[in-house]
Amino acid sequence: QVQLVESGGGLVQAGGSLKLSCVGSGRTYSNYAMGWFRQAPGKEHDFVAAISWNSGNTYYADSVKGRFTISRDNAKNTVYLQMNKMKPEDTAVYYCAASFDLSRWYPDHQNTYDYWGQGTQVTVSS
């Protein structure tokens, strides 16, 4: 089993920044992809960003390109999401997810991820 724990959420004014972290534990593993998704009230899970094992490939939703940056530190089993120039529409619960079956992994497809964190609330005030 793998446990993912997000942190770093909170309240920020529009135009501000937050950095989310997601730490993985519970399994010795390698070569897995990580992603961030978010869910606003009454909406589906939306893809935000994803990153390959070696950080060679990153993927972003159009709505966050140029504002958000995903990165990872494999030695710490941690993935980050730096969020800049935040907007009220970024308000949501943010979830990290891990995918170990890279043969079926699509960065923006939530059903190709195997483990999920419990989420962290991000609120952007206008």
The gap from C-alpha 75 to its chain's centroid, in whole angstroms, comes to: 18
Which DSSP string do the residues of the chain spell out, in sequence order?
Answer: --EEEEE--EEEETT--EEEEEEEESS---S-EEEEEEE-TTS-EEEEEEE-TTS--EEE-TTTTTTEEEEEEGGGTEEEEEE-S--GGG-EEEEEEEE--TTS--TT-GGG--EE---EEEEEE-
Tell me if 117 sits within 8 A of 9, measured CB to CB. Answer: no
What tokens appear for 29 in the block? 């593993």
Q: pLDDT value at position 8?
A: 97
Q: pLDDT value at position 28?
A: 57
Phi, psi torsion values for 89, nearest 5 degrees: -70, -5
Neighbours of 94 (CB within 10 A): 23
Tens-digit pLDDT profile for the chain (126 aa)?
889 999 999 999 999 999 999 999 887 566 889 999 999 989 999 999 999 987 779 999 999 999 999 999 988 999 999 999 999 999 999 999 999 988 999 999 999 999 999 999 999 999
